[in-house]
Structure 1
């Protein structure tokens, strides 16, 4: 498939010119026929591609097809991920492997919330990662994830060419700027990982690419088709990862405010309808199952609205990282730059969101008509980023959910500088700013654990078939189910949304049915009981109280055994299996 076919079939009306791009090399004052030219070239100023350094490299890039650049991006992402290594994080241990495993192996009704609140998230996105991990190993998973993340280099490059006319900068510079979008702390942390922030983001970037105005836009029929497809991709992104909703809403607002199409209301209606369709396409099966079983399609989230008696009637929002005072609400990017752990569990540093923060509000406000006349795509990009940030701030304030903004920040900074300066020197200055800001980026990655694979021997595989595994606490332990026989249930009695004492209460006075069901399942079990824990969890004061509540105590502390027989893996992932005595009959009835 060549570049033109890929453009015409998969990206209609996004990138009209064929490769190589034709260039206007005249140096006189030559306003373009289209009113959407970014800048005019004043007489005496050589703003053509030949005026930039690297013309030889530019000629090489011009000979490449789009699919070749896509393959290059995928290979670069996959190889870079392999070099960084398999770095499973809290989410992978907690639910990235467990959720698809439970769905495929039929454990949805056998277990009770071993993956805590995250165990009720849509498992569709993680199914291919689980399959690759089980059948091909962690190295294949890392390469696959890195390749998907690397493909977004193409989307970032196309977005920049959409915003800037091809006459403004050479292609080598466009692709270089796009590369900076993939070197932020979120992207580096997640490279080769199974988080959706930097993979599902591709659907958001493609949706943005479809609705940005461009020089080669055609009539209403083309605009309507683009709105339909953009909405479908956006809705699918939300179904796969609910936090992507903030970007899809930002796209919808930008579509209404910036009016990139001749029929803005009709286009917005089509975008919204297609979003609903994409959301149903990617989530109706899972959200329908949650509704039928727990009377809340987003269970247990937003339970203050659905009032399911299976969980407490609260929203279960994570409020740890919300701004703490009025000043932080106004300048939060400055606050998290000055104070570690303000918006993430890890230390990181990236000055680019702070540099972009005033621009994405002030440029559209102070130059609304000017940007609409000279740079409509830039104006729409900034409006999209501004509204998305304003949604993120009160809803989450969790930094990794800003993955799309992080990837687009270098593009937006460079484009604003190029638009304001309108010269070769300014473009080179913008590139220098990106290089300088990149040198200030600090990031963290999870520990590399190369020995974690499905072929490792564990004590879980030797448990009697009539056993039950109990988990209490907040550690991410549900991944152990991959080594557990499918007829051995895993029951969690304490988690980030459950407590065993709530199972003793009626739902009308603070109890919940899921905690009650967990206690009843344990009380009525007729076989051996085992506690799965990490050594650090064993020292927590609530563990003894939770076990005592059910009449359970470890038979002997010395009888706890390591889960993994591989010594180094057991040291990196310390898990213990402890036999428990039979529970006392102290649990409530129906």
Structure 2
């Protein structure tokens, strides 16, 4: 009901590239990607927007909001499951209390509230990331298949949306720190790394290869100062509008998400459709 009452998603991202990227991908219009849409964003992996494209095309905005909300709600189920794994040895009251509190915190997350029911990929690609954490926490003895599967999920999430690479780095660091003994840590990190690479290639490899063959840059137009594609200026194409302005600003970021002054605030409102 929250998403329905809020109305249709008319964010800048949806209007400028979420819907169009999937359309252009399905119609084979890569040569025209950057013309009608937002140039840098138009070369993200469009696979993550295909479901949204078909839902909106077939069912319309209202049903699309509801369907996306159902899909995105998997995050909260997995958060509850992850919490259960963390406190499964405690009393029943303590377990259920922690599960309820963790789920409420997840539901009240500023980014989750602003993106639930919308076409943003963050709250969709987060599902395999949280699932990977749940798998690792599901047993006191983490096996290689569990690490492999967790790495596969995080790799797939990174293939869907490149910003999830931060979680891939963090997951590798956890593998190096948590296993008993140097040898076990290296084996754990390598196992997770293999899964990560396989997941990344499986989900994002085809699109990266397409960009490489067309533009000479598998993550075009980003880091073009390294790849030197002739189709874009030789710069790293970093968007510094949303970077913290200092240490204190960075610490305050999670707590300012509900503020209208927050630079990274995303709301499906008419004003957000303006560049």
TM-score by length of 2: 0.88
State whether structure 2 residue 198 is matched by structure 1 residue 277: yes
* Counterpart contact for 1:252–1:271, Cα < 8 Å: yes
RMSD: 2.7
**The residue matched to 2:108 in structure 1 has which SS?**
coil
- Displacement of 1:108 in angstroms is 2.1
1:142 is matched with which residue: 49, 58, 65? Answer: 65
1:144 Cα offset (Å): 1.5
| Corresponding position of 2:5 | 83
The 8 Å contact of residues 87 and 446 in structure 1, kept in 2 or not, is answered as yes
Inter-CA distance 151–263: structure 2 relative to 1 (3 Å threshold): same
C-alpha offsets along residues 156-175 of structure 1, whole Å, 9 cap, x if unaligned?
A: 11111122234245243133
Residue 153 of structure 1: aligned partner: 76
- C-alpha change, 1:120 and 1:344, in structure 2 (3 Å) is farther
Change (3 A) 1:85 1:112: closer
The equivalent of 1:117 in structure 2 is 40
Q: Give 3-state SS (helix, strand or coil) of 2:241's partner.
A: coil
- Confirm or deny: 8 A CA contact 1:211 1:260 kept in the other structure: no
Deviation for aligned residue 1:336: 7.6
- CA drift of 1:213 comes to 6.9
1:174 matched to which residue of 2?
98
| Equivalent-residue separation in structure 2 for 1:123 and 1:334 (angstroms) | 32
2:171 maps to 1:246: no
Instruction: Using the TM superposition, give the Cα deviation of residue 223 of structure 1 relative to its aligned residue in structure 2, in angstroms.
Output: 0.7
Contact preservation (8 Å) 1:212, 1:260: no
Tell whether 2:170 aligns with 1:258: no
2-side partners of 1:236 and 1:313: how far apart?
Answer: 28
**Residue in 2 that maps onto 1:588:** none
Query: Does the aligned pair in 1 maintain the 2:33–2:42 contact within 8 Å?
Result: no
Q: Is the 8 A contact 1:85 1:448 kept in 2?
A: no
Q: Which has the higher contact order (CA 8 A, sep 6+)?
A: 2
- Structure 1 residue 104, shift from structure 2 partner: 1.3
What SS does the corresponding residue of 1:198 show, helix, strand or coil? helix
Q: Which residue of 1 aligns with 2:18?
A: 96
Q: Does 1:333 align with 2:257?
A: no
SS at match of 1:272: helix
Gapped runs of 5+ residues in structure 2?
Answer: none
Alignment: residue pair count: 270
Deviation at 1:264, TM superposition (A): 2.3
Mark the CA change 1:260 to 1:204 in structure 2 (over 3 Å): closer, same or farther: farther
1:347 counterpart = 2:257: no
- TM-superposed CA distance for 1:335, in Å, is 7.1
Normalized per residue, the structure richer in helix is 2
Kindly tell me: are residues 277 and 142 of structure 1, through their superposed partners in 2, closer, same or farther at Cα, counting changes over 3 Å? same
After superposition, the Cα gap between the structure-2 partners of 1:111 and 1:176, relative to the gap in structure 1 and judged at 3 Å, is closer
**TM-score under structure 1 normalisation?**
0.43
Match of 1:165 among 88, 98, 103: 88
Flag the 1:136–1:323 CA change in 2: closer, same or farther, 3 A. Answer: closer
